[in-house]
Structure 1
């Protein structure tokens, strides 16, 4: 049976325009028509009047950690909680994520592959949640950033084997740690970690298997090492310079800035129980992080929305905060929405079914009470979310 959604504002994110009198027709979980109401008149089926609300495609978050609980010390929780508790928490996190309009995510590293059962449960309809792409165990140097949940390596040969192990486990992409980070005590966020040769070995294995790659990369040298090694996306990109940006443009590398991660740590601070070392490091990098995002945008780097949800007080379900921050630091509202739809879907290679509302694509969309194309804060006013034509909110 067809369902006709009428009397709506339709955001055409591909063309970055708004159709004020729009109409959407869906059938069997897919879009039959999306566009001007006049051209779509006469369709049969159940009629749903959206009363002038705004409709945009389901959103894509290119960087989350589904098993991290967004407490003041998520790594502490992972160490203390049982596997069953970690998983049950993650079920609620993914339900809240999709209820707020995020229909697809990249999980950038879990714990002992527990997230694989989460993805399978969503795919089989046992629980509600976004479509998930998984990295499995992140690949890091011995003692490097995230070593307590990752696969430690110390040579190109070991990096190659680690990538093969993740591919054998069934990952969707490979994540590599090019630099230190905020949440690992005793490492410097800007310092290079895995070498270019080590990363190149892992990346080659991923690409041979038809998988994409992503690199946690904050410092300039590590960013450039990762790009020269063949990486597909840079996560965070805190200390970009002109050379790094030029390399990203030449190699068509995506940037996933994750502005919310540092913001939440700095805003809440040690008073909220966040480890002091993480707060101090976040305060030290925040200004450079914002400036790098602005430089990349001005240069035309492909930017996809990603939140790092699950990190300290960066709550699952509050993913839309990243979009607000992207606008606060220079993007136009439609530009930020595009980063969370079209660009995100392209980065995940899901643009054949996500990212835009077009005939034949999956009926994933969000109904907003307001005009986020004019005031981005309206994007929080989520009234309905549809995934595969079924209402999840």
Structure 2
């Protein structure tokens, strides 16, 4: 069936423009004179589906979640499905997972279901022995990381996650906020170790992303050739210049520490204190990257404490305004720019003929308020309406004669 959507205001990358578009067999197609169905979107706003480039689908934002459940492939798959459905509820139609247990993200990616967001999976991240996310004392399958030491081991680790189907290699360049006994300034995987893994990812045509918070670790990751630096909390002028030189993207995840320090009651004191310490520098570094023209792609670190897959996406977008981005730049960070980073420009990211029909219909202009995505919206994935919170639906559909 060919469905034509008429009279809507469609985001074109800079502004909303009134135009018609059509969907057939899950993809955007050219409108014709004889559609099977017409949907009137007068007064509505249409954007591409949002993309969250930094998530952990097998993690729960509820810090007490695993106290009441066994940690198995089954329970983690159920959790992942719930997280993905939450993402859909605010218009997220694609996610990149950057560290999953039991390879749940890879299995869900291979299923490629139309009723869930699309997925770019990384499988296990690569970490030095005892490094960030290594799950000290856990069984290897229960850890979100694969421990590697030295260039040969890093190369082998990258090849292993790619063999399992990963389309991104995640690397731990520094310590972080949520792990006891380490700081964001700890240098972990070396530049040479990361470069060995990056070469393998690029050889397959896929990307590499580095968890990098401290300045030295960020520079190591950028020089190693990663496509994106995740978090990038402590930038300096040299780090920004390196990013410009290497065409590196920043995925800020500004809400990750914020969700922690705004909910201190049930979290370890060390975690709350570190989150408070990094917050100011984190926003300042993102401002510095934006001012220099470093590409920014939306990612939230969803699954970290209190950092849900729905509401905090919109908080992240609003925080980019504070970092100096225009509303259009913010929306692009979660659509076309994200598609570019994830190598999905021929799949999604725009309302454009030939791409998957992933789009959101809103009653309000999101460029005025990104929280419009959690109010009156309808969310489509490959042309299928999966969420409908629009008053009276998304227009009066009529079957063409």
TM-score by length of 2: 0.90
Match for residue 107 of structure 1? 97
The residue aligned with 1:170 is 165
Find the aligned partners of 1:53 and 1:343 in 2 and give their Cα distance.
Answer: 24
In terms of mean alpha carbon deviation, does 51-60 or 79-88 score higher? Answer: 79-88
Distance 1:384 1:119 in 2: 24
User: Of 189, 194, 212, which residue of structure 2 is paired with 1:194?
Assistant: 189
User: Among 16, 19, 24, which residue is 1:22 paired with?
Assistant: 19
Other-structure match for 1:138 = 125
- 5 Å-filtered alignment, 1:324-339, equals 324-339=318-333
**Match for residue 58 of structure 2?**
67
Q: Equivalents in 2 of 1:78, 1:32: separation in Å?
A: 48
Instruction: Provide the aligned C-alpha RMSD in A.
Output: 1.8
Residue number in structure 2 paired with 1:11 = 11
Q: Is the 8 A contact 2:8 2:41 kept in 1?
A: yes
In 2: Cα distance, 1:338 partner to 1:354 partner: 12
Q: Is the 8 A contact 1:97 1:129 kept in 2?
A: no
Q: Distance in 1 between matches of 2:67 and 2:177?
A: 17
Partner of 2:281: 288
State the alpha-carbon separation in 2 of the partners of residues 191 and 222 from structure 1: 8
Tell me if structure 1 keeps the 8 A contact 2:209–2:229: yes
State the match for 1:300 in structure 2.
Answer: 293
Q: Tell me the residue number matched to 2:316.
A: 322
Distance 1:56 1:63 in 2: 20
Distance 1:117 1:345 in 2: 21
Q: Residue in 1 aligned with 2:206?
A: 211
Corresponding residue for residue 220 of structure 2: 225
Question: Which is further off, 90-99 or 247-256?
Answer: 90-99
| Structure 2 partner of 1:119 | 109
SS at match of 2:85: helix
Task: Give structure 1 stretches of 5+ with no counterpart.
Answer: 34-39
1:78 Cα deviation after fit: 11
| Distance in 1 (alpha carbons) for counterparts of 2:300 and 2:67 | 20
Query: Does 2:341 correspond to 1:354?
Result: no
Tell me which residue corresponds to 1:310. 303
Q: Kindly tell me: are residues 78 and 107 of structure 1, through their superposed partners in 2, closer, same or farther at Cα, counting changes over 3 Å? A: farther
Secondary structure in structure 1 of the residue aligned to 2:130? coil
Aligned counterpart in structure 1 of residue 248 of structure 2, from 248, 253, 266: 253
- 1:310-350 per-position Cα deviation (integer Å, ceiling 9, x unaligned): 11011122222211221233222111001000100000010
User: SS of the counterpart of 2:62?
Assistant: coil
Residues 333 and 379 (structure 1 numbering): CA distance in 2 closer, same or farther, change over 3 Å? farther
For residue 364 of structure 1, the aligned residue among 358, 361, 381 is 358
Q: Distance in 1 between the 2:369 and 2:74 partners?
A: 41
1:140 to 1:77, Cα distance in 2 relative to 1, 3 A: farther
Q: Name the counterpart of 1:37.
A: none
Stretches of structure 2 lacking an aligned partner (at least 5 in a row): 136-142, 388-401
- Give the corresponding residue for 1:184: 179
Residues 79 and 115 (structure 1), Cα distance of their counterparts in 2 relative to 1, 3 Å cut: farther
Rounded Cα–Cα distance in structure 1 between residues aligned with 2:166 and 2:229: 18
The answer to whether the 8 Å contact 1:4/1:43 transfers is no
Would the aligned equivalents of 1:100 and 1:382 in 2 still touch at CA under 8 Å? no
CA distance in 2, matches of 1:256, 1:205: 22
Q: Does the 8 A contact of 1:105 with 1:132 survive in 2? A: yes
| Preserved contact between residue 314 and residue 370 of structure 2 (Cα < 8 Å) | no
1:80 Cα deviation from its structure 2 partner? 4.8
TM-score of the two chains, using structure 1 as the length reference? 0.92
